[in-house]
Amino acid sequence: MKMLPQLIVNGLITGGTYALAAIGYSMVYSVLKFANFANGAVAMIGAYLTFLLVTELGIYLPLAFLISILATALLGVATDKIAYKPLRQAPKISSLITAMAISFVLEAVVLLVVGAEYRPFPLPVAEGWRLGSVYITPVQTGILVASVVCVAGLWYILHKTKIGRGMRAVADNPELATINGADTDRVISAVFAIGAALAAVAGTFVGMDIALSPTMGFNITVKGFAAVVLGGMGNVTGAVLGGLILGMMENAGVWYLAGGDGRWKVTIAYAVLMFILVVKPAGLLGSKEESRVF
């Protein structure tokens, strides 16, 4: 039990990145009622953009991060226009397929341009802090702070701005939304932009916390989705909660059940997911109607 506080802190940090990724899925789901599997790959692109801007062009990290967030937001909007918008009236399975296709294409582009190797993020080495039995690095602190800032910012956008109110209106009543076509299009673009921007943040953090690789996108997709289902589809608060819980369960689970063997992390994430699907399919904060068939 001596390890528990450390595991919880590590879990919160990992969970913070999952939560950021999960918000992107959740927002798109609440508006379009489809699971955007490409968000993980978009996050991966965001991570590589930050990485390349810093290593290849020598741009100052915070600035590089900002450029990457903006560029990724644009990429998010572009994926919608190219691959999902033409399919709004088509069966949902079509958008799921194009989403997967997008993520395979993005992954292959990175494979061609950067290569398949793991790339560690070049960060200045800095001493961490020790609080009792818990050790935390500056990067981890940054992740924690930035996650909180992002979620607070999102809350502000959703509740205090016009476009945010539009998003909630479309999410609540898609039929009404189809009547005002132009507005709906703007709202959907905004949703994709915000989701992708948060994904870029999540991707970059994962890259800093672990390393970059073309397959990291898929990993983010998996974790983001587990978090969303855990919290309840289409529910932003649920996504954040799901991300944090998943992060902690994974860390604690790997430590106590698999003897610290990190290879089983994904398996644990999924075991949690399956358990939720069986016990409470609508997730912790979701409504039953969202999850039923018709």
Partner 1 sequence: MLKVDNLCKNFGGLKAVNQCSFEVQEGMIYGLIGPNGSGKTTTFNLITGFLEPSGGRVLFKGEEITGLAPYKIAHLGIGRTFQLVRLFHNMTVMENVLLAFKDQSGERLFNAFFRPRQVIREQTGNEKKALELLEMLQIAPIRDEYVGNLGYAQQKLVELSRILMTDPEMILLDELMAGISPAFAERLLDYVRQLRDEQGITFLVVEHNMHVVMSLCEWIVVLNYGEKIAEGTPEQVSSNPVVIDAYLGV
Partner 2 sequence: MPTGVIIHVLIVICIYSILSIGLNIIMGCAALFSMAHAALFGVGAYASALLALQGFPFWLDLLAGMFIAGLISFLIGLPTLNLVGDYLAVATMGLAEILVSIFRNWDAVTRGPMGLPGIPPASLFGLTFDSPISFLGLSAVCLLIIYLLAERLAYSPFGRVLKAIREDEGAVQALGKSTFWFKMWAFVLGGATAGAAGSLFAHYFGFIDPSSFTLWIIFFLWLIVILGGLGNNLGSIVAAVCFVAIREGLRFVGLPGNVTSAIQQILFGVLLIVMTIFAPRGLIPERKYKTRYKSHAEG
Question: Binding residues for partner 2, per CB under 8 A?
Answer: 29, 33-35, 37, 82-83, 86-87, 90-94, 96-98, 100-102, 104-105, 107-109, 111-112, 115-116, 218, 221-222, 225-226, 229, 233, 263-264, 266-267, 269-271, 273-274, 277-278, 281, 290-294
Residue number with CB closer to partner 1 (127 or 289) = 289
DSSP for 54-98 reads: HHTT---HHHHHHHHHHHHHHHHHHHIIIIIGGGTTS-HHHHHHH
> Residue 104 binds what, of partner 1, partner 2, none (CB under 5 to 8 Å, by partner type)?
partner 2
Q: If DSSP codes are grouped into helix, strand and coil, which group holds residue 34?
A: coil
Q: 3-state DSSP call for residue 235?
A: coil
Residue 190 buriedness (CB in 10 A; 0-12 / 13-18 / 19+): buried
130 interacts with partner 1 by CB under 8 A: no
Contact residue for partner 1 among 20, 125, 288, 290 (CB under 8 A): 288
What CA–CA distance (Å, rounded) separates 158 from 171? 11
Which of residues 147 and 221 has its CB atom nearest to partner 2 in the complex?
A: 221
Instruction: Tell the smallest beta-carbon distance from residue 268 to partner 2 (Å).
Output: 10
Q: Given the structure tokens 């990290």, which residue do they identify?
A: 61
Q: Which of 56, 117, 127, 289 binds partner 1 (CB under 8 A)?
A: 289
- Is residue 132 within the footprint of partner 1 (CB under 8 A)? no
How far apart are CB 235 and partner 1 at their closest, in Å?
A: 12
**C-alpha to C-alpha distance for 171 and 290, rounded to whole angstroms:** 11
**Amino acid present at 5:** P
Please give the residue ranges that form the binding site for partner 1 (CB under 8 A). 288-289, 294
